[in-house]
Amino acid sequence: MSTATEGSKQLPSYLTESLIKRSLENDLQRPVTIDSFTAGPATSAGDNYLSDVFWIRVLYDGGASEKRLLAKCMPDVGDRGATLDILDAFRKESSTFFEVLPKFSRLVTPGEQFGAKCYYATTDPVRTIVFEDLKALGFRMCDRTHGGLDYAHLELVMRKIGKFHAASMLYAAQSVDNERQLRERYSYGFYNPQQKVEEFPILAVFQKGLEKFLSVATGWPELEAEIVRKLQTLRPTFKQRIADSVNPLRSTTRLHVLNHGDLWSNNLMFRYDAGSVPKEVMFVDYQLSCYGSPGFDLVYSLYNCPQADVRLTRLDDLLAVYYRSLSDVLQAANYASIPTFEVIKQEYEEYEFFGKNSRKSPNTSENICHLLNTPSSSLGLVCAVSLLPIIMMERSDDVDISFDAFFDQKQAERIRDIQYNGTQYREVVVPLLHSLHARGYIQ
């Protein structure tokens, strides 16, 4: 048996023939003999944070058969290992791929897939999930540094989210046990409420991001000074506001679905026709999935993924695409109570901006929140100030942008310099903040 790697980066010691053999045998349910395999890093720096991802090409059974695999490894190192434990990311993602997604696929259009085929999952010697390699099937990521996705790509994304959410509704309606499984297994995504806000390291990273934004944006003449002033007042409560904004479930939620939880450009892979027109999209990375309002996935994806002009002018169109997809699946399955488009728009607005104890329209939420003396939260604002700088970070070969680098003070400050001074980020975030402010979503 022989192995080889491509590029200068050596494979980790846990990416072994034994792992590949177990993966194939688990899928094929028979003994397999590995002849040879080649492997290498599957992503660039900044494309993944909680995992190391490797492509594998394996020949087996005397060279008569070949498979292209992807190994997603989550080693217990540094702050990354502790964060994986807090978020329960491995257990959640492995059970999602093995148990939940296949059941969802059977509830919608025949042949519909919500993720790559999963071959194997293990914690020995490190947390690893082995998938079919979507690149070998013609799927590829869009470059996250090119300013976002155009309308054609986002149409596919909205249709896919609609089908995914609908499948979760059908699954929950099948039995009390199914609904309880979703509610308990996916009770949180981005933030584990059992952790104290002040002790959760990712919130500290985002807090530093707000500080950096304020130091940089104060010198932007095109950004309204009133916005900067209001953002300054958020500093003492920003961590709590983030925690509130990513809470997938609250008493005001009318509609409950399984959210992917982290739909940004690098967790979307597209397949194209001969003319480079996007024809199909596949979701990857279900580590942060959560059960609650569909507003979470909708706001998160429609703030983090689109090109600037699409975000500012086509959101209503994209919400309509989502609704048609959702309702078509539910109608075909004779679902008892299909939500109206108005309910979907209300769930979206609830996550764009919400006051803790109110379900008022955005135009009146400011007065209500002042009367209640409770802070308001905006997932849209969190995306604009905390997530978009990371997503749109311009590439730099001499900068370490691994997960652990965000917790090294010197490296993290250098990373933030690049993120918040990025030309594309500045062009996108200024009109986005103006739009949020004009609608009363920054206070």
Q: Where are the beta strands (DSSP E) in 123-274?
A: 127-132, 257-259, 268-272
Q: What is the pLDDT of residue 389?
A: 92
Cα–Cα distance measured from residue 105 to residue 102, given in angstroms and rounded to the nearest whole number: 5
Closest CA to 87 of 266, 246, 279: 246
Q: What is the pLDDT of residue 401?
A: 67
pLDDT tens, the chain, 443 aa long:
555 555 445 788 999 999 999 999 999 999 999 999 999 998 765 556 678 899 999 999 998 899 999 999 998 877 788 888 999 999 999 999 999 999 999 999 878 999 999 999 999 999 999 999 999 999 999 987 788 999 999 999 999 999 999 999 999 999 999 999 999 999 999 999 999 999 898 899 899 999 999 999 998 999 999 999 999 999 999 999 999 988 887 767 889 999 999 999 999 999 999 878 999 999 999 999 999 999 999 999 999 999 989 998 999 999 999 999 999 999 999 999 999 999 999 999 988 875 333 334 444 444 333 333 445 568 899 999 999 998 898 777 667 666 666 767 788 889 999 999 999 999 999 999 999 999 888 87
Residue 270 backbone phi and psi in degrees, to 5: -120, 150
Q: What is the pLDDT of residue 227?
A: 96
Closest CA to 88 of 106, 74, 67, 68: 74
List, in order of start, the domains of the chain with CATH numbers.
82-115+139-357+366-439 (3.90.1200)
Q: What is the pLDDT of residue 75?
A: 85
Closest CA to 395 of 142, 45, 54, 52: 45
C-alpha separations of 198 from 8, 201, 206, 212, 237 in Å:
40, 8, 12, 19, 10
Cα radius of gyration rounded to whole Å, the chain: 22
C-alpha separations of 180 from 173, 174, 246 in Å:
11, 11, 21
Note the Cα 299 to chain centre separation in Å: 11
CB atoms within 10 A of CB 30: 8
Q: What is the dihedral of CA 308, 309, 311, 312, to 10 degrees?
A: 120
Is residue 52 within 8 Å of residue 75, measured between CB atoms? yes
pTM of the model: 0.91
Closest CA to 52 of 71, 76, 79: 71
